[in-house]
Structures are given as C-alpha cells and as structure tokens.
C-alpha cells in the first residue's frame, strides 16, 4: 500500500510542476487565452535602428505597451511599426511617437506624447507624427570632423 501512496504524491507534484511551468510560459510570453487585453496602433518611421520586437512603448515614462511587428514599405520609404497598447490607454489623433534610448547605450523604446485633441485614435489607426532615432555615432563624427556648425560658423567646404 505504501508503494502506491508514494507514487500518488510524486504524480501530484509532477502535475503541479507542469501547471506552474505552463502558467509561467503564458505570463512571460505575453500570451492571452481569455480575451484580448491589447489593441494595435501603427506608427511610420523613416528609420527604426536599434528597435526590436518586444521593446516597450512608454507614455510619461510608464510602460503601456510593446512593439509587436515591423513592416517595411520600400515604395514609400518608411517602416510601419505595430504598437500593442494595454486596454484602457487612450491615444489622441495628434499624438507624437518618437524612438528614444534608455540611458547612454541602452535599449531603444518608443516614447509617446499622447496628444490632447478631441479625437481619439481607434484600434488599427496610424500615428501620423513620428520622430526617428538620432544616430549618436553619426552626430559625434560630424562634430569631430567639422561638419556641425557652431553659432553661425561655416562648415568645411562651405563658401561665403
């Protein structure tokens, strides 16, 4: 009889372990089985350098969503970024989306000024006003080699 009681206890622990692993997989993978807890908006950028799927979307420094997908439009020369927002986050039609860097050499994220007009963006709409990331290495290179103007000075190769 003891043999079966030990097997039962081990079986219960194995089942509980599998349930915990499944729960953690769903939570860490941002998967939802019961209803849709997010909605999508799109933003068109001329460059998405350093931005990756899963990076956060922030409003006022608070994470309110994540990057879900990228789609390149070569004909119109932009990248459409799908932004997944948590339900309850309101974004107006005059919102401004910009790609920022967390810290000096940190990961990129999308910072959103939600706007303040009377019209709200509906799921699937596009944020029209965007700002692509600043390439810090390119800016330093221009400054180091004299391509950046200082208070009215001329750059190299410029004539009066």
Query: pLDDT (tens digit, 9 = 90+) per residue, 104-150?
Result: 777 889 999 988 888 888 899 999 888 887 776 777 777 777 765 65
Do 43 and 11 belong together in one domain? no
Q: Which residues of 118-140 are buried (b: 16+ CB within 10 A; e: fewer)?
A: eeebeeebebeebebbeeeeeee
Q: How confident is the model over 67-89, as pLDDT tens digits?
A: 999 999 889 889 999 999 988 88
CA distance linking residue 121 with residue 124, whole number of Å = 8
Q: Is residue 64 part of a domain?
A: yes
* The predicted structure's pLDDT at residue 1: 53
Q: Are residues 58 and 100 in the same domain?
A: yes
Q: What is the pTM of this model?
A: 0.64
Q: How many domains does the chain have?
A: 2
Domain co-membership, 78 together with 59? yes
The whole-number pLDDT of residue 139 equals 74
Find the domain containing 5 and state its range.
1-30
State both tokens at 31. Answer: 């998967």
Helices (H), 29-116: none
Backbone φ, ψ for residue 18 (5° rounding): -65, -40
> Are residues 20 and 83 part of one domain?
no
Whether residue 18 sits in one domain with residue 55: no
Q: Is the pLDDT at 103 greater than 80, yes or no?
A: no
Confidence bin at 22 (pLDDT 50/70/90): confident
């Amino acid at each position: 009889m003891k043999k079966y009681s030990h097997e039962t206890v081990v079986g219960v622990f194995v089942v509980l372990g599998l349930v915990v692993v499944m729960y953690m997989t769903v939570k860490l993978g941002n998967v939802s089985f019961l209803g849709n807890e997010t909605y999508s908006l799109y933003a068109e950028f001329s460059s998405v350098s350093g931005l990756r799927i899963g990076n956060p979307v922030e409003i006022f420094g608070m994470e309110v969503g994540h990057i879900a997908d990228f789609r390149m439009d070569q004909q119109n020369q932009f990248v459409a970024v799908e932004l997944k927002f948590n339900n309850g986050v309101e974004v107006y039609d005059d919102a401004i989306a910009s790609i920022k860097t967390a810290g000096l050499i940190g990961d990129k994220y999308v910072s959103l000024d939600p706007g303040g007009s009377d019209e709200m963006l509906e799921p699937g709409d596009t944020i029209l006003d965007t700002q692509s990331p600043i390439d810090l290495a390119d800016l330093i290179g221009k400054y180091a080699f004299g391509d950046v103007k200082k208070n009215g000075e001329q750059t190299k190769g410029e004539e009066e």
